[in-house]
A = this chain, B = another copy of it.
Amino acid sequence: MSKASILLAAGIALGCWNNLAAAASDEPIQPVEPAVVKEPAKVELGKKLFFDPRLSRSGAISCNSCHNLAMGGSDNLKASIGHKWQQGSINSPTVLNSSLNIAQFWDGRAKDLREQAGGPIANPMEMASTHELAIQVLNSIPGYRAEFKRVFGKDGITIEEVTGALAAFEETLVTPNSRFDQWLRGDKKALTVRELAGYELFKNSGCVACHNGVAVGGNSFQKMGLVAPYQTDNKAEGRAGVTGKDADRFNFKVPTLRNVALTYPYFHDGEAATLTQAVDVMGRLQLGRTFTPDENAQIVAFLKTLTGDQPAIQYPVLPPSEDDTPRPEPFLK
């Protein structure tokens, strides 16, 4: 653990408003490393599953529906559209760089990507299938049977293999080489003076206390509405739903700010439509500071430098269903 990391960890324990970066000799944000693909066949299988709407009851919703890799790994909606157009209860977080998260979902109820991947498939509000049905569908498709066998070395597809392949694919969805990372790596011309001023303000005003590390967030749970309460109609309780502790009420995983220019709208309720709004609310509610319009704009300029190279995705061709594949039921009463 670097000196900066230790200081940051200590700072987070003390509270998110501490100004840590100024005390650290290194930058509090580290560059995203390119993905190292160790199991390409598993990743390729995971990609197919990620794009396959047959994992949903309707045959129309895939992982990519709410975590669209054409749109920053998100759906750019306040709340996602689930089975039969049900309104999601929380904003879909980006899948990009999600392997760097301390845990998955806003409340961290899944410990890793593999555990996460099983959730939406069986959530009646989301893909509305069951693990049993999803496996029955996949096992009925010769192309998948063969591919799972190649990857996992045995007959018969299991949900653990499905979520393992999905996680393996998602681990490749990192976004290196943002202009900010180029700057971190020593290219001092990669940022404009104004963007750099925004970064300094981001550090000096305390944003960086929670938004730090490789993912510029994603590594702690913090209370939404620290200095002043956050007003929302959204019913999410945050971390308290996992720990059962009242002290964790409205504690949410700090979202990554990587690619934040692509992942609008913001916050767990998606109520901040723009970065300007998000920075303003964060300043007032988390830091007790009202940024001037120019300060706000500087921080926004910095945030826009966090857009990295988006994953290069060859759109998959999915193996076709067979006559005995359970058919989608989008309109079943």
Q: Which residues from chain A sit less than 8 Å from chain B, CB to CB?
A: 51-54, 58-60, 65, 68-72, 75-77, 79, 81, 84-85, 87, 261-262, 264-265, 273-276, 310, 312-318, 320-321, 323, 327-328, 330-331
Tell me how many chains of this kind the complex includes.
Answer: 2
Q: Which residues of B contact A87 (CB under 8 A)?
A: 330-331
**In the assembled complex, which residues on chain B have CB atoms less than 8 Å from the CB atom of A69?**
315
Determine whether the beta carbon of A320 is less than 8 Å from that of B81: no
Task: Check A71 against B318 for contact (C-beta < 8 Å).
Answer: yes
Docked-complex contact A59 and B72, CB < 8 angstroms:
no
Known contacts A273-B323, A320-B262, A331-B87; A70 and B315 CB within 8 A of each other: yes
Q: Is the CB of B85 within 8 A of A70?
A: no
Neighbouring B residues of A321 by C-beta, 8 Å = 76, 264
Tell me if B85 and A323 are in contact (CB < 8 A): no
Known: A60-B65, A315-B315. A72 touches B261 (CB 8 A): no
B264 and A81 contact, CB distance less than 8 A:
no
Residue contact A330 to B276, C-beta cutoff 8 Å? no
Residues of chain B contacted by A315 (CB below 8 angstroms): 69-70, 313-315
Complex contact B59–A320 (CB within 8 A): no
* Known pairs A76-B321, A81-B60; A314 contacts B314 (CB<8 A): yes
Instruction: Provide the bound-state CA to CA distance between A108 and B251, in Å.
Output: 56
**Residues of B contacting A274 in the complex (Cβ-Cβ under 8 angstroms):** 323
> Are the CB atoms of B310 and A312 closer together than 8 Å?
no
